Amino acid sequence: MSAFPEITLVRHGETAWSLSGQHTGRSDIPLTANGEAAARALAPRLDGLSVSAVWSSPSQRARNTCALAGFGEGAVIKPDLAEWDYGAYEGITTKEILSKRPGWQLFRDGCPNGEAAADVGARADRIIAELRQANTPILIFSSSHFLRVLGARWLGLPPQDGSRFILDTTSICVLGYEHDLTEPVIRRWNQK
């Protein structure tokens, strides 16, 4: 246990599109039955976690994961926690995108009519500023690509470096500090 506040991140449970690999940004896709079961299974994994606030993306997949894990009451919806806006690539798999745009990489190239990594990074930076100002343990429910950018920005890395982190559905990560509040670290990542 750290003497400094820890930020616990939870990726939402499985959806039909996370299962098929379709980019799910602003489409409000519900959890599958497996996703709901995995969200309920988060409760014992998070048992004993002491937080002063719970924040969630506005998506139903994040909000329902939060509620099924036992943290829905009092959760604060933060629009900046929304998943990457995939614009023209919403609902399309990477394989389909690459067939029309060879060499495309989300974190490098962004999405037409959607967000670039810098846009997602700016939202992550606003969340980090709020977290650092609160200076208290907080639990966050959101989506994979946003949380990957958040992890990169927590460390002071460019938003594009979120490509170096992977997140499975209902995985848990913990952001924190090492020696003092000027040394942000990732304490745990992608725990199942």
Point out the residues that are catalytic.
12, 83
HEC assignment per residue over 156-183: CCCHHHHHHCCCCCCCEEEEEECCCCCC
Tokens representing residue 6 in the block: 């820890």
The answer to whether residues 8 and 137 touch, using CB atoms and an 8 Å cutoff, is: yes
Quote the CA–CA distance of 67 and 155 in Å, as a whole number.
29
How many helices, marked H, and strands, marked E, lie in the chain? 8, 6
Torsion of CA 152, 87, 106, 63, to 10 degrees: 40
3-state secondary structure of 53: strand
Quote the CA–CA distance of 155 and 96 in Å, as a whole number.
32
Crossing angle between the packed helical segments 117-134 and 144-154, to the nearest 10 degrees: 60
The residue assigned the tokens 């670039």 is: 116
- The rounded Cα 81 to chain-centroid distance in angstroms is 7
